């Protein structure tokens, strides 16, 4: 191709990049250089409402990432890939079992990661965490901010034991500073298993889809006899009132048994919640305060040691 024809071809490419990608193509150096879009009547103009901002870019990146849960749930894969996933799931459980072996009887507090400090529900979860710690329970949460932080904080400030079971996310969910011991899980289903495994009662504070998932999975495990009849305390009466109406409608429609709503104790009062847990967890399972066994150093085990305030 003649040099003049080549320059014309490159010029067409350059105009295309000007119009669509805010880039200029240097025909001499043959490199791309970032620059502002030119004033060109032939160029399409994007309205501010449709402009791509950093948030949209981050969201697209999040959906393009190769994540453990996404890979695992993406349909049939090779035998080697499934075997690798099996080892990763096993490693998730082994890591959690080693970290949490000495936590003692727990109460798990579920709730939103988006609840800011100082709000009604944050302070309610904080008070509940403190009350559970004074009863001798280790307070367990998802280890993140919001309600999770409040529950851990209440236990921590009351001098009790506080642990978190965090999750790897595309944009990392940082652990809160009020946990004595923390484990970060690779998969959501392994995390939910661990949040149930060590607990004798479950406190559900206001939250979103994740909180509903945790609450109804726990309720289903109790309902089907997969776990013992541990108490579920639903706190935030105004927030959860439509949910309770829906649960009673399930009874009316014959979708669940008439006694199933009794699995949930509905209150805003911390002392009422504590008394309910005292009756249905401490007494029912004959829990007693005792010294937690110490870890064996030869196995690399670590005791649950209270952080200094």
User: What is the per-residue pLDDT for 31?
Assistant: 43
More confident residue, 55 or 267: 267
> 226 pLDDT exceeds 50?
yes
Q: Is residue 67 part of a domain?
A: no
∠ CA(82), CA(86), CA(88), 5° rounding?
A: 115
**What pLDDT is stored for residue 32 in this prediction?**
43
- Residues 47-85 pLDDT 10s: 666 666 777 666 655 555 566 777 778 788 899 989 999
How much is the pTM? 0.76
Same domain, 147 and 191: yes
Instruction: pLDDT band for 214, please (50, 70, 90 cuts).
Output: very high
Highest mean pLDDT among 23-27, 43-47, 217-221: 217-221
- Contact, 233 vs 267, CB < 8 A? yes
Q: Are residues 44 and 141 in the same domain?
A: no
Q: Are residues 237 and 282 in the same domain?
A: yes
d(CA 7, CA 168): 50
Based on the domain organization, do 20 and 97 belong to the same domain?
no
What residues pair up with 274 in beta bridges, in sequence order? none
- Give the C-alpha separation, 298 to 295, whole Å: 9
Q: Count other C-beta atoms under 10 Å from residue 256's C-beta.
A: 17
Q: Are residues 40 and 174 in the same domain?
A: no
| Contact present, 21 and 32 (Cβ < 8 Å) | no
pLDDT digits (tens, 9 = 90+) for 79-109: 998 999 999 999 999 999 999 988 989 999 9
Which residue segment(s) compose the domain that 19 sits in?
Answer: 3-51
Report how far Cα 262 is from the mean position of its chain's Cα atoms.
Answer: 27
Q: Are 113 and 223 within one domain?
A: yes
Banded pLDDT at 25 (limits 50, 70, 90):
very low
Range 37-44 average pLDDT: 59
**Do 20 and 111 belong together in one domain?**
no
Task: Check if the beta carbon of residue 109 is closer than 8 Å to that of residue 273.
Answer: no
- What string of DSSP letters covers 178-217? T-SEEEEESSHHHHHHHHHHTEEEEEE-S--HHHHHHHHH
pLDDT for residue 148 is more than 90: yes
Burial of 281 (C-beta count, 10 Å sphere; 0-12/13-18/19+):
buried
The count of structural domains within the chain is 2
Task: Supply the mean pLDDT for the chain.
Answer: 82
Query: What pLDDT is stored for residue 29 in this prediction?
Result: 43
Q: What angle (nearest 5°) sits at the alpha carbon of residue 122, between those of residues 121 and 125? A: 85
Residue 6 has pLDDT above 60, yes or no: no
104 is a domain residue? yes
Does 8 map to a domain?
A: yes
Q: Do 247 and 122 share a structural domain?
A: yes
Over residues 231-255, the mean pLDDT reads: 97
Distance from C-alpha of 283 to C-alpha of 264, rounded to nearest angstrom = 18
Q: Is residue 72 part of a domain?
A: no
Task: Match 């959860």 to its residue by tokens.
Answer: 240
Q: 270 is written with which tokens?
A: 């911390």
pLDDT of residue 30: 44
């Amino acid at each position: 191709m003649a040099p003049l024809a080549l320059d014309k071809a490159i010029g067409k490419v350059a105009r295309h990049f000007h119009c669509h990608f805010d880039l200029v193509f240097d025909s001499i150096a043959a490199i791309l250089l970032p620059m502002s879009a030119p004033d060109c009547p032939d160029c399409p103009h994007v309205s501010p409402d449709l402009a791509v901002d950093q948030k949209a870019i981050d969201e697209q990146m999040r959906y393009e990432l190769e994540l453990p849960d996404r890979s695992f749930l993406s349909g049939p894969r090779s035998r080697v890939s499934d075997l690798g996933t099996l080892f990763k799931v096993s490693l998730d459980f082994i890591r959690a079992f080693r970290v949490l072996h000495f936590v003692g009887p727990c109460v798990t507090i579920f709730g939103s990661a988006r609840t800011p400090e100082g709000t009604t529900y944050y302070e309610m979860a904080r008070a509940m965490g403190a009350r559970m710690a004074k009863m001798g329970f280790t307070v367990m949460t998802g280890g993140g901010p919001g309600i999770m932080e409040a529950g851990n904080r209440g236990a921590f400030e009351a001098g009790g034991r506080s642990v978190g079971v965090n999750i790897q996310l595309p944009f990392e969910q940082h652990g809160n500073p009020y946990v004595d011991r923390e484990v970060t899980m690779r998969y959501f289903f392994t995390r939910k298993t661990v949040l149930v495994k060590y607990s004798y009662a479950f406190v559900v504070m206001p939250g979103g889809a994740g909180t509903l998932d945790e609450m109804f999975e726990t309720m289903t495990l109790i309902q089907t006899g997969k776990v013992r009849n541990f108490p579920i305390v639903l706190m935030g009466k105004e927030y959860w009132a439509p949910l309770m109406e829906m649960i009673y409608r399930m009874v009316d429609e014959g979708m669940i048994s008439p006694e199933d709503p009794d699995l949930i104790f509905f209150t805003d009062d911390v002392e009422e919640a504590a008394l309910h847990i005292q009756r249905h967890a401490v007494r029912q399972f004959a829990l007693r305060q005792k010294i937690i066994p110490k870890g064996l150093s030869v196995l690399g085990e670590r005791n649950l040691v209270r952080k200094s305030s």
